[in-house]
Structure 1
Amino acid sequence: MELLKKTISEKGKVLPGDVLKVDSFLNHQIDVSLLHEMGKTVYDNFSDCKVDKILTVEASGIAFACLTAQFFCCPVLFAKKSKTSNLSADVYTAEVQSYTHGVKNTIMVSKNYLSSGERVLVVDDFLARGEAANGMIELVEKAGAKLVGVVAAIEKVYQGGGDALRKKGVNVFSLAMIDSLENGKITFCR
C-alpha cells in the first residue's frame, strides 16, 4: 500500500536492535485516516471471504484491527497477555515470544468469544518472525474456528515469518513489506 509505505518512509525511524519505530502514526499515536485506508485495503483484498471475527493481540494491533473490522461489520477479539479479574477461567491459550520486548507471553482469549466454525481473520501491526501470528493461529485452531488469513500492516520479510506461514498454506497479506533496515535505512521489497 503506497500510502503506508510513504508514511513509513517519512515518519518511521530505525532503532538499534532491528526495531522500526512507527509510534507516531501506528502503535502509540494513531493516524485514524491512515488506518481507515489500511482497513479498506484489507477489506478489498478479503471481500470475497466471509469474516465473522477479527483476532489480534494486545495492544499495538487493536487500533488497526478495529478500523479493519468496520468494513467487515464484525467484532474484534484481542488476545490478552495477562490474566485479569474480568477474564473467565475458561480460556484458550498459546505461548508467544515477543520480538520487541524479548519475553515469552501466554496469550489468551475467552472461550465465550471464539467459537467452532467461526471464520477468523488475524490482524496485527507487525509480522516479523511470525511468533504472534502463530500464537493467534493456535488459538483459532484450539477453538475449532477457520482461519481466513493473516494480515500485517508491516511485514519484515527478511525475518522469515511471513514466508514460513505462506509455506504452510496460510493466506498472508501485508500492506508494507520491508526487505531491510540495514544501516538505519528502510528498504521496501519491490
Structure 2
Amino acid sequence: MNRAEKAALQLQAVSVLRMLKETRTYDELAELTGLPAGDLNRYVNGHVLPGVERAREVVEGVGRDALADELEARVRFDDEGYVDNSGVVFDQSFLDLVAPVAANALDLERPDVILTAATDGITLGAAMASYFGARLAYAKKSKETAVEDFIESRQRLASGIELTYYLPASAIDDGERVLVVDDLIRSGETQELLLDIALQADADIAGVFALIAVGDEGTNRARELTDAPVGALSSFD
C-alpha cells in the first residue's frame, strides 16, 4: 500500500466514525469500536488520523456492520414485498461510505469500468467509480438517439415480459475489468443482462456487488455466471 492509498484508507475510517458519531456518544462509539473515547474524539474532530491498522479495522470490520445496520433501518418493504430504498439511493454521502467498505469486504481489484443499470443503480455506481477512479457506464432500456453502435442484451423473464438493455459499444473496451453494481439483487435477471453485456464487450469481470440482496436466488445466479467475487452489503429474506 503506497502513501496515497494509506491516506485514503485513514480518511475513509474518519468518515465512517463521523457517521457513527451522529447517533452515538463517544463512550458508545468506544464500546462499538473497541477504541478509546479520547482517540475517537481526536479522529472525529480532525485533530489526528487513525493509524493504518486502526483505519483498516474500522473500514473492514465495524464499518461494514454499521453501514449494513444503517441501510436496514432506511429500507422499507410494502405488503407485497416491494422494496423502497429511496432513503439509501438518494443519499450520495452514505453511498460514498459504502464504496470503500464494499471494496475491502469483497477484496475487489480495481476495475476500469463500473457497469450498472439505469436508473436506481446510478448513484451507487457513481460512488464506486469515484472510489476506484474508474469510468461509470450504465445500460438503459432504450437506445440513445445519437449513438449508432450498441451492445444489446435481451432476456425473457419468468413473467413472460421481455427485458432488453442497451449500452453504447464505446463504453467498454476489449480487455477492461468491469465491476457490475446495482442497488438491489433479487432474481439476478438484471445482473445476468449486465454480465452478458460485459462479456459481449470482451471485458474481464471484476465482481458483482449490490446494496441489498433479497433472498439468495440472485446472488447464487450471479455466482453461476462468474468466478469473480459476488456480494451485497445487506441481505433480507
TM-score range (shorter-chain normalised) is: 0.7 to 0.9
- Rg (Cα) greater in structure: 2
Structure with the higher helix share, 1 or 2: 2
Q: CA deviation at 1:150?
A: 0.4
Structure 2 Cα separation of the partners of residues 177 and 66 of structure 1: 22
Instruction: Give ranges in structure 1 of 5+ residues lacking alignment.
Output: 181-190
Structure 1 Cα separation of the partners of residues 214 and 80 of structure 2: 13
Query: How much identity, in percent, do the aligned residues show?
Result: 24
What is the TM-score when the length of structure 2 is the normalising length? Answer: 0.66
Partner of 2:211: 153
Alpha-carbon contact 2:106-2:231 (below 8 Å) kept: no
Query: What is the SS of the residue equivalent to 1:24?
Result: helix
Q: CA deviation at 1:4?
A: 3.5
Q: Which has the higher contact order (CA 8 A, sep 6+)?
A: 1
- Once the two structures are superposed, the pairs formed by residues 1-190 of structure 1 within 5 Å of their partners are 1-26=64-89, 30-45=90-105, 49-86=109-146, 88-96=147-155, 103-158=161-216, 160-168=217-225, 169-178=227-236, 180=237
Instruction: Give ranges in structure 2 of 5+ residues lacking alignment.
Output: 1-63
- One-letter code of the match for 1:161? G
Partner of 1:183: none
Structure 1 Cα separation of the partners of residues 123 and 67 of structure 2: 15
Deviates more, 1:166-175 or 1:44-53: 44-53
Alpha-carbon contact 1:96-1:107 (below 8 Å) kept: no
Partner of 2:10: none
In structure 2, relative to structure 1, the CA distance for the partners of 1:96 and 1:76 (3 Å cut) is farther
Structure with the higher strand share, 1 or 2: 1
Query: What is the SS of the residue equivalent to 2:88?
Result: coil
- One-letter code of the match for 2:77? V
Aligned length: 173
Question: RMSD over aligned Cα, in angstroms?
Answer: 2.3
Q: CA deviation at 1:65?
A: 0.6
In structure 2, relative to structure 1, the CA distance for the partners of 1:145 and 1:9 (3 Å cut) is closer
Partner of 1:186: none
Structure 1 Cα separation of the partners of residues 144 and 134 of structure 2: 24
